[in-house]
Amino acid sequence: MSNPVRLAVVGVGSMGANHVRVARQTAGVSLVALVDPDLARARSVAEGGSIEVVSSIDELSSPIDAAVVAVPTPQHVNVATSLASRGIHLLVEKPLARTVADAEVIVEAARAAGIVLAVGHVERFNPVVTELRRFLDHPIHFSAARVSPFTPRIGDGVVLDLMIHDIDIVCSLLDTGDEVVEVSGVSRTTRSQSEDLASVVMRFSSGMTAAFSTSRIGQQKVRLLEITQSDSVVTADLVRQNITVNRMTSHEYLSNDGSPRYRQATVVETPILETRGEPLANQLASFVSSIRSRTAPLVDGAAGLRAVALAERVTSGFQSPKGSVK
């Protein structure tokens, strides 16, 4: 049996603590260190045992093979490049970086070091998204809705925090070479220093379109993706982890004079998904598999960079004279 991958989690806030929980349960992983400037919090998450707890990566004494980077987004570039220079494989929480420039620095550092760089777009490991492609047949339009209750701990705007998930999912389902040719949208800032809700439309070179509606000032958690196709509409509920397919038919009933009287338009299918499991656990297992096989992860640096670039394009459009609603 191969030696376990020795893992450190850097940043043990809400998301980092979830990574710690999952790492403890993942076969082939040995959680050896936690890094956070708040040592009291880190020790609490460590729950005793033999896990090393330090306030910075420069203090690490335990040998590690890989690290989860779950620090605040502005710190990603410094932490990731420092770890990459030591040959440490990286799983960097989404977004890969706050700006395209920083994301490019991380991608290049990983390439130069010859390490695995995975980006934590965890929704790609949601069983619904994993199986969604087999229901696609020349999509015409994507419509994504993502709503969360407000939390003051998030420093990123709603595009980098939430919408970027759906941007990444849609791009992952496109044909290679299908590029975004037009972006328009509006945003509102109500409870924080950056946008709290946004509505965006993208048009792609193939003619396909996508609409993204995102809010972090809702009252419930919503994660829906609807795909319109020539003869069907596929709806994916990422919270409940189910898919429904409304397939168009054309059953027409005529009146006595031959005019249309009633038409039944659709048949609803609810396929059984073959994949299950917690997305965060699936993500870590995939990361470990990439390290062992030295293969590209499902969400690699290029995918993370693409998502940041499109998110930056969206938010820069909010500042344009044609603007947004702010």
The pLDDT tens digits for 128-172 are 999 999 999 999 999 999 999 988 777 789 999 999 999 999 999
Tokens of 234: 């596929």
Q: What average pLDDT does range 60-70 have in this prediction?
A: 97
Q: What is the pLDDT of residue 150?
A: 87
Q: How many residues does the chain have?
A: 326
Q: What is the pLDDT of residue 323?
A: 40
Q: Quote the CA–CA distance of 58 and 109 in Å, as a whole number.
A: 18
Helix axes 14-25 and 39-46, enclosed angle (nearest 10): 30
Q: Note the pLDDT tens digit of each residue in 106-115.
A: 999 999 999 9
Q: What is the pLDDT of residue 139?
A: 94
Rounded to two decimals, the pTM is: 0.89
Q: Note the pLDDT tens digit of each residue in 206-241.
A: 999 999 999 999 999 999 999 999 889 999 999 999
Is the separation of the CB atoms in 107 and 117 below 8 Å? yes
Cα separation of the two ends of the chain? 57
Indicate the pLDDT class of residue 77, thresholds 50, 70 and 90. very high
> Which residues are 209's β-sheet partners?
141, 203
Domains of the chain with bracketed CATH: 5-123+279-300 (3.40.50.720), 127-277+310-318 (3.30.360.10)
Percent of the chain with pLDDT over 90: 77
| Among 4-18, 87-101, 214-228, 270-284, the least confident range | 270-284
* Mean pLDDT, all residues of the chain: 90
Is the separation of the CB atoms in 67 and 91 below 8 Å? yes
The full DSSP string for 78-97 is HHHHHHHTTT-EEEEESSS-
Is the separation of the CB atoms in 183 and 314 below 8 Å? yes
pLDDT higher for 247 or 69? 69
For residue 274, report the phi and psi dihedrals to the nearest 5 degrees. -85, -20
